[in-house]
């Protein structure tokens, strides 16, 4: 199974300041079809998860452009350029290169 490891697990951020979350996979997420199937999801308090980023760096519909994803191979990063109150929640990376699908442990973003 591919193990997904996120750091940090908690990220207190001042409103208007940037936030960054790292996700590392135990093996390369580059599929034989050439795509890298790494997604980021956000879970606001009391809500179901919501897709933010797919295939490393593609923003899903409705996601603001201050949210971005980057990375390659086994190392990936989610960045929020200026944190707003609506960004509070837990962020998960997920790999879909192969079954079983696996998630990172989650990173809690909160306002200082």
Partner 1 sequence: EVQLVESGGGLVQPGGSLRLSCAASGFTFDTYWMGWVRQAPGKGLEWVANIKQDGSETYSVDSMKGRFTISRDNAKNSLYLQMNSLRVDDTAVYYCARYTFIVPRTFDSWGQGTLVTVSS
Question: Quick one: which of 44, 50, 66, 82 contacts partner 1 (CB under 8 A)?
Answer: 50
Compute CA 108 distance to the chain's CA centroid, rounded to the nearest angstrom.
Answer: 11
Site residue total, partner 1 (CB under 8 A): 25
> With binding defined as CB under 8 A, does residue 105 bind partner 1?
yes
Question: Quick one: which of 23, 41, 67, 80 contacts partner 1 (CB under 8 A)?
Answer: 41
Instruction: Please return the burial class of 62, using the count of CB atoms within 10 Å of its CB with bins 0-12, 13-18 and 19+.
Output: exposed
> With binding defined as CB under 8 A, does residue 78 bind partner 1?
no
In this complex, which beta carbon is closest to partner 1, that of residue 5 or of residue 17?
5
Question: Quick one: which of 28, 35, 66, 70 contacts partner 1 (CB under 8 A)?
Answer: 35
> With binding defined as CB under 8 A, does residue 82 bind partner 1?
no
In this complex, which beta carbon is closest to partner 1, that of residue 31 or of residue 82?
31
Q: How far apart are CA 66 and CA 29, in angstroms?
A: 25
Cα–Cα separations (whole angstroms), residue 38 to 16, 84, 97, 108: 27, 24, 8, 19
- Those residues whose C-beta lies under 8 Å from the C-beta of residue 58, and which sit 6 or more positions away, are 69
Q: What are 112's two structure tokens?
A: 């200082």
Residues that bind partner 1 (CB under 8 A): 35, 37, 39, 41, 43, 48-51, 54-55, 58, 60, 90, 92, 94, 96, 99-106
């Amino acid at each position: 199974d591919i193990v997904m490891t996120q750091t940090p697990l908690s990220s207190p951020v001042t409103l208007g300041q940037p936030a960054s979350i790292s996700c590392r996979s135990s093996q390369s997420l580059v599929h034989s079809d050439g795509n890298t199937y790494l997604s980021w999801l956000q879970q606001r308090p009391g809500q179901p998860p919501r897709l933010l980023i797919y295939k490393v760096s593609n923003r899903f519909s409705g996601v603001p452009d201050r949210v971005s994803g980057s990375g390659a191979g086994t190392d990936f990063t989610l960045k929020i350029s200026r944190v707003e109150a609506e960004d509070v929640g837990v962020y998960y990376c997920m790999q879909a290169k192969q079954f079983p699908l696996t998630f990172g442990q989650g990173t809690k973003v909160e306002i200082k």
